Amino acid sequence: MVHVAGDAGFSRAELDQLYRRHAPSVFRRARRLLGRDADAWDAVQEVFQKMVTAHQSFRGEARPMTWLYRITTNISLNMLRSRSLREPAGLTVIDGHADDGQEALETRNLLQAWLKGLTEREQEIATLLFIDGLTQEEVADVLELSRKTINREVAELRAKAAALGALPEGDS
């Protein structure tokens, strides 16, 4: 199986260059969300496989990093949902969280609360806004939303996350 696409896709050299340029930031973001290296590398692989299959979408981005943020967030949150779903089903995944401090623990606790209490859209916005530290304008760019929409959704999100007791310190 060769993932590199045909005429309109990436050449091997181009994909290699994109990977070397962007994989470190994809890994750092996925690692922060997923908490363990093995899962973060899985996310890296999925993000770049997605880049290959959706090369037109990636090429069409005026700002490629926003595409990477969107896809990395989406894939990482899907992996977290999958992880939380499979735990009660007769087998529990043996946890391999690295010992990476209080901030990482707070991040994981926030994510767990958001996975239970927020919609998938709200989870994406919360992750980009509160964990990645993007501005509202950048979140709008990443998720391809209008400024008006993001302002309204962030206001609703803050209220909902506060009610869940799941706002990061300094945002409550």
Q: Which pair of structure tokens corresponds to residue 95?
A: 């946890």
How far apart CA 135 and CA 120 sit, in angstroms, is: 19
Q: How many residues does the chain have?
A: 172
Looking up tokens 């969300």 gives: 33
According to the binding rule CB under 8 A, does residue 14 interact with another protein?
no
According to the binding rule CB under 8 A, does residue 16 interact with another protein?
yes
DSSP conformation letters of 118-160 = S-HHHHHHHIIIIIS---HHHHHHHHT--HHHHHHHHHHHHHH
According to the binding rule CB under 8 A, does residue 105 interact with another protein?
no
CB atoms within 10 A of CB 39: 20
Q: Which of 59, 60, 86, 171 binds another protein (CB under 8 A)?
A: 86
Q: How far is the CB of 105 from another protein (least distance, A)?
A: 17
Tell me which stretch binds another protein (CB under 8 A): 21-29, 102-110, 115-123, 154-162.
21-29
Residues 125-144 as x/- pattern, contact with another protein by CB under 8 A: -------xxxx--x---x--
Q: What's phi and psi for 122, nearest 5 deg?
A: -65, -35
Q: Which of 7, 62, 89, 170 binds another protein (CB under 8 A)?
A: 89
Residue list 146-165, contact with another protein (CB under 8 A)? none
Angle between helices 101-117 and 64-86 (to 10 degrees): 80
Give the footprint of another protein on this chain (CB under 8 A): 1-4, 12, 15-16, 19-25, 27-28, 36-39, 41-46, 48-49, 52, 63-66, 69, 75, 78-79, 82-83, 85-86, 88-94, 96, 98, 132-135, 138, 142
